[in-house]
A = this chain, B = another copy of it.
Amino acid sequence: MVKIADVAKEANVSVATVSRVLNKKGSVKPETCERVYKAIEKLSFEPNMSARNLRRNETRVILIIAPNITNPYYAHILAGIGDEAAKLGYSALIYNTAGNEERERSSMDMLKRKRADGAILLACNTDSLWVAEYAEKYPLVHCSEYVEKLDVPRVSIDNYKAAVDVMEYIIGLGHKKIATISSCNSYISTVLRLQGYKDTLKKHSLAMKKRYIAFADAEYSFKSGKTAAFDLLKQKDRPTAIFCISDTIALGAITAAKEMGLRVPEDVTITGFDDVDYTTMFHPYITTIAQPCYELGRESFKLLHACMSNKKEIDKKVILPHKFIIRESSAPISTCN
């Protein structure tokens, strides 16, 4: 039978270190941790009962709670979480809540019933205060969206700053009649992007017009983006630029503009957000904000792992840098507008 000492020898570490890894107590460098898990795997080591008891609260499973996993925005985030989790010997399971609050809670109950060691929440409304109850007892991390009032660890970009970047660029192109297509969900990213839109208009003394603010549905669907753009562009005094808070919405908006006989970007500038794959599938390629999705995923798992390991010094608000990418769907205001 393989013993803990064999694992230690194989991994070239002390028995105490293997024990620390198994029990997730004390600190072990990630590289060392990985080496230990590789040795465990190589030797098919099964901890004996006493070791197993020590770690009886550990499942080596983490949950990813998502409302709609087929949103292309999640693709690289899920890959980032999955890769980082696998590296440390964890299985990352996705719980698709379909935005159903009952399922959200039932996913949390899995933590209660010790079916998982921790969870990453991919989407939360700004008013999801119920998260607090679980965050007190179990390792939880927010990725992308979070509840601002709560002190739950989180990883995201600076959504406000990103929106300001786009707006400064559009205004710099000479546009004055600038609309936005927001979403009717209540994610923090939605709130902050709208705030960035409003504040930048104000900063440049441009009037904020209610009729220039449209809303797509909660899932940022193509169809709702198209409808919203149609409502904006059919106005007599139509906007010359539309800041969309997602690429899918932007794609819908571009389609609406085309169907109305408007050229993008000659007649109307349209920008997106996220930089999902299809921003460069059809012309005009979409000017957008690129989120470092894979890194958002990796960092979320790292943060969760730190929480699960009871590390004390945790940076609870990780902000990753975004990138603004100028492509074909935006242009200086033309004289004909």
Contact = CB atoms under 8 A, between A and B. Distances in A.
A75 interface: yes
Interface of A: 59, 61, 63, 69-72, 74-75, 78-79, 82-83, 86, 91-96, 98, 103, 106-107, 110, 115, 222, 251, 255, 277-278, 281-282
13 contacts: A59-B115, A69-B94, A78-B96, A79-B96, A82-B103, A86-B106, A91-B95, A91-B106, A91-B110, A94-B94, A115-B115, A222-B277, A251-B281
Most buried by B among A70, A71, A110: A70
A331 B83 CA distance: 46
- Give the number of times this chain occurs in the complex, counting copies: 2
A94 B96 contact: yes
A244 B285 CA distance: 25
Contact of A281 (B78, B96, B255): B255
Nearest to A66: B94
Nearest to A102: B86
A82 B103 CA distance: 10
A92 B82 contact: no
B277 A93 contact: no
A121 B95 CA distance: 16
A222 B278 contact: yes
A165 to B, nearest CB: 27
Contacts of A106: 86, 91
A230 to B, nearest CB: 15
Contact of A94 (B59, B93, B222): B93
B98 A82 contact: yes
A174 to B, nearest CB: 30
Contact of A70 (B70, B92, B251, B282): B70
A98 B69 CA distance: 14
B82 A78 contact: no
Contacts of A95: 91, 93-94
A153 B260 CA distance: 51
A201 B219 CA distance: 43
A98 B94 CA distance: 13
Nearest to A278: B222
Contacts of A110: 61, 91
A175 B316 CA distance: 63
A106 B75 CA distance: 21
